[in-house]
Amino acid sequence: MSQVSVSRRQATRTAPDESREARRRRRMSPSVFLVHGVLIFFVVMALGPILMTIMNSLKTQQGIFSGPFQLPTATTFSIDGYLRVTQLGDFGTLYFNSATVTIVTTGLTVGLATIAAFAIVEYKIKLAPVLSGFFIIGIMLPVRLGTVSLLQMMSSWNLVNTTLALILVYTGMSLPLGVALMVTYFRSVPQELKDAARIDGAGEVQTLSIVTPMVRPGLGAVAALTMLPIWNDLWFPLILAPGRSTQTVTLGVQQFMGQYDSDWPALLAALTLGTIPLILLFLIFSKQFIKGLSEGYGK
Amino acid sequence: MRTSNSIHNAATKYRYLMLFTLPALIFYVVFAVYPLFATFVISLFQTTNGDGSFIGLDNYVYLFTDPTQSGHFWHALLNNLEFFAIHLIVQLPIGLLLAALITSDAVRRLTGFYRTILFIPATLSVVIVGFIWRMIISPLWGIIGFPLLGTEATALPTLSLMSIWQWIGIPMIFLYTALIAIPKDILEAARVDGASGMRTFWAIKFPLITPQFGLITILTFIWTMNGFDLIYSLMGGAPGPNYSTDILGTFFFRTFFGFNNVVGDTDYGAAVATVIFLFILISTAGYFFVLQRRLKPHEL
């Protein structure tokens, strides 16, 4: 059967005009419209609520309620919500805290995961697969259930209400997936390259720095996969760093929503401010993120 | 030549392996692995006026025999299972549909565009997603006149659907990755043999991506059993109406951290955490055990 299909495939290849014609017909067929129609429906479903939030955040309270689906007009347009949020919510501090926690954790995770994964792939002794397995188990570990002990640990170290507490916990939590991912990337580096570096007199640290550029896609994937859950987490900021000066954006928005329950322009502005940076971050890193997601959990 | 020789020496390898993995190991063990075990140890104590005394399994006995506590626990567990089941039932077919559509011949160059756009909700904070939806469905706004979150029967399904709206990109991506990994020759052969797009999908593609359903199921299980953020932000720490949206995460939070008039008890909270941890561990292990036994006959 496979032989038949091969010969038929060759037959179509010899008649390029006909196949191009067929392809064009396929592109214009009703099923193509149907597929795009269904997908556009889901795109509207996915983006609609977000766009609606952003759009209504630029209106007066009255404008929000009288015509939720209308674009802001000259009479309903207002940025009062944003003015009130920035006064009441101190978004500068929130952004600063979230950025600090996210950037430091991501840097630590990428760095430590790279070194560890290099070693696990490189030094093939009995202990290496054991270590690798130990890290892989951690991908599924429900770390939140250790919170009682983490809180005691942090309070005995006087780290409650510091961003450092969050950085430590998030790094511990993110490393398993980071190591597992980097191991798959380091496996694809040819052995000859590392041996050549060593023959040229490179030490182990130097060898690592020579091969690291070759696993750059992996570094991107780990970074993207580490960043988003940390920026978005509510649980640990709520328990380990709820103080006003150490709040993250996610916790700040959560508290703001509870405090100013009826000021809709301000609420919608707060939500918009919490949404935009993440969407931008994702649009920049979407390739790495999606790749990392399927490769990290896919094994 | 000396350096290249020395690295073939097992003792040197051991030294470098330890040196390079130690920093990562320390973070991982101290802040992820150890707390889970330490939590179990804490659960064996009772703290009065700052002094801990060993009470064995009394916290567990209290959890399972006190009518109020055990009632709340089983109720939260059942709600959590419902939360998980709704996720699975809605997520799998939609995720499959989306993955099939974005990889279909009709889409071609726009695959990346659709994939990225449909994944955007998953990048937002659960908290923000919850509030966005709460505003949209708020009877105050008048788009939906019915208090979906204020009614016992609809509150949990509504929250589940919000969460599904956010996470639909995850099953889509896993299935999408499996679909694009199918060798082109197989599909080309089917097409040339005259198989329609539908037939190719169900007869060839679908059987090849079924392992992904197992992966999605187990990840959804773990993530929903760890759920907390959405329900806490919208419904609070004693999630109503009448605890109808209480899940394990909110129950655990309430017991150890306290909420409103509930006073937190660290040691008892540790016991609750340990029970939840064991439940997740045993379910996951059971799943992998069954999966492995099912796979064996095929491999032979």
Nearest Cα neighbor of A248 from A101, A86, A81 is A101
Contact A125 B120 (CB under 8 A): no
- The whole-angstrom distance between B226's CA and the closest CA on chain A is 7
pLDDT single digits (tens) A272-295: 988 888 888 888 888 888 888 877
pLDDT of A27 over the 70 cut: no
pLDDT of A69 over the 50 cut: yes
Q: Residue A157: which pLDDT band, with cuts at 50, 70 and 90?
A: very high
Q: What three-state secondary structure class fits B252?
A: helix
Closest partner residue to B20 among A116, A268, A283, by Cβ? A116
* C-beta neighbour count of A166 within 10 angstroms: 26
Contact A281 B128 (CB under 8 A): no
Closest partner residue to B21 among A9, A52, A131, by Cβ? A131
pLDDT single digits (tens) B105-146: 888 788 889 999 999 999 888 888 998 898 888 888 878 888
pLDDT single digits (tens) A169-226: 999 999 999 999 999 999 988 888 888 888 888 888 888 888 898 898 899 889 988 9
Residue ranges of the domains in chain B? 2-60, 65-299
Q: What three-state secondary structure class fits A203?
A: coil
Nearest Cα neighbor of A155 from A240, A77, A217, A255 is A240
- CA dist A207 and A238 (Å) reads 42
Task: Write down the pTM of the prediction.
Answer: 0.88
Phi, psi (degrees; rounded to nearest 5) at A124: -80, 75
Q: Residue A151: which pLDDT band, with cuts at 50, 70 and 90?
A: very high
pLDDT single digits (tens) A230-280: 999 999 999 999 998 999 999 998 888 888 877 888 888 988 988 888 888
pLDDT single digits (tens) B254-276: 998 888 777 888 899 999 999 99
CB contact A140 to B (< 8 Å)? yes
Closest partner residue to A146 among B39, B127, B232, by Cβ? B39
**Hey, what domains does chain A have and what are their CATH numbers?**
1-47 (no CATH), 85-298 (1.10.3720.10)
Phi, psi (degrees; rounded to nearest 5) at A131: -60, -45
pLDDT at B50: 75
Closest partner residue to A125 among B10, B228, B257, by Cβ? B10
Q: Domain B65-299 - what CATH class?
A: mainly alpha
In contact, A193 and A163? CB cutoff 8 Å: no
| ipTM score assigned to the predicted complex | 0.89
CB contact A177 to B (< 8 Å)? no
Tokens of B182: 């199918």
Contact B14 A298 (CB under 8 A): no
CB contact A63 to B (< 8 Å)? no
pLDDT at B240: 79
What single letter denotes the amino acid at residue B69? Q
The residue with tokens 């008649």 is A15
Helix locations, chain B, DSSP H: 2-6, 10-28, 34-42, 58-65, 67-102, 111-123, 126-137, 152-167, 169-180, 184-192, 197-200, 206-225, 229-235, 248-257, 266-299
Element (H, E) at B46: strand B45-48
Contact B36 A257 (CB under 8 A): no
Contact A35 B106 (CB under 8 A): yes
Higher pLDDT, A105 or B199: A105
**For chain A, what is the largest distance between any 2 Cα atoms, rounded to a whole number of angstroms?**
77
